[in-house]
Chains A and B, each alone.
Chain A
Amino acid sequence: MALALAAVLALWELLPRAGAVNPVLFPPLSRVIATFFELIAQGALAKATVVTLYRTVVALAAGFAAGVAFAALMVSLHPVRWLFEPFFSLTYPMPKIALIPIFVLWFGIGDLAKVLLATLTAFYPIMLSTQAAARGIRQSLHWSAQSLGAGHAAMIWKVVLPASIPGAMTGLQVAAPLTIIVVVVSEMTSSGGGLGNMLTVASRNFEMGVQFAVLFTLMLIGVGFDRLIVLVRKAVLRWE
Chain B
Amino acid sequence: MPTAAARAIKFVRDAVLPLAVLAGLWQLASGFVGEETLPSFTAVTRALSMWALSAERLDLLGENFLATVFRIYAGLVLGTMLGLAIGFAMARFSAVEDCLNPILAPLYPIPKPALVPLFVMWLGIGHASVIAVIVIGTLLPIVVNTYRGIRAVPLNKIWSARSLGASEARLWRAVLLPGALPQIVNGFRIAHNLAVVIAIAAELVASQKGMGFLIGDFGAAGAYDMMFGMLVVVVLVVAALDRAVVWGTERMLHWHYAAR
A residues with a Cβ closer than 8 A to B are 1-5, 8, 25-26, 82-87, 89-91, 93-95, 97-102, 104-106, 177-178, 180-181, 184-185, 188-189, 195-196, 199-200, 202-203, 206, 208, 211-212, 214-215, 218-219, 221-223, 226
**Chain A contact surface mostly:** helix
Contact B114 A218 (CB under 8 A): yes
Contact B15 A86 (CB under 8 A): yes
Chain B: interface residue total (CB-CB under 8 A): 54
B residues with a Cβ closer than 8 A to A are 14-15, 18-19, 21-22, 37, 95, 98-100, 102-103, 106-118, 120-122, 193, 196-197, 200-201, 204-205, 211-212, 215-216, 218-220, 224, 227-228, 231, 234-236, 238-239, 241-242
Contact A102 B219 (CB under 8 A): yes
Q: How many pairs of A and B residues are in contact by the CB < 8 Å rule?
A: 152
Q: Known pairs A98-B231, A101-B216, A177-B111; list 15 more (Cβ under 8 Å).
A: A83-B18, A90-B235, A93-B239, A98-B204, A101-B227, A105-B37, A178-B197, A185-B111, A185-B113, A188-B113, A199-B117, A206-B121, A215-B110, A215-B118, A222-B108
State in angstroms the CA–CA spacing of A177 and B200 once bound together: 17
With A91-B235, A200-B117 as contacts: A97 and B204 at CB distance below 8 Å? yes
Contact B205 A189 (CB under 8 A): yes
Contact B19 A185 (CB under 8 A): no
Contact B110 A222 (CB under 8 A): yes
- Chain B residues with Cβ below 8 Å from A101 are 204, 215-216, 218-220, 227
State in angstroms the CA–CA spacing of A15 and B37 once bound together: 52
Contact A97 B18 (CB under 8 A): no
Contact B219 A188 (CB under 8 A): no
A selection of 17 A-B contacts at a CB cut-off of 8 Å is A4-B100, A25-B121, A83-B21, A85-B14, A90-B235, A95-B197, A97-B197, A97-B201, A102-B228, A104-B219, A181-B113, A184-B113, A185-B201, A211-B118, A214-B114, A219-B106, A219-B110
- Chain B residues with Cβ below 8 Å from A177 are 109, 111
Contact A86 B201 (CB under 8 A): no
Name the residue of chain A whose CB is nearest to the CB of B242.
A93
Most buried by B among A4, A200, A212, A214: A4
State in angstroms the CA–CA spacing of A99 and B212 once bound together: 9
- Chain B residues with Cβ below 8 Å from A199 are 114, 117
Within the complex, what minimum Cβ distance (angstroms) separates B200 from chain A? Answer: 5
With A91-B235, A189-B205, A223-B109 as contacts: A184 and B114 at CB distance below 8 Å? yes
- Chain B residues with Cβ below 8 Å from A208 are 118, 121
With A101-B216, A188-B114 as contacts: A93 and B14 at CB distance below 8 Å? no
Contact B234 A98 (CB under 8 A): yes
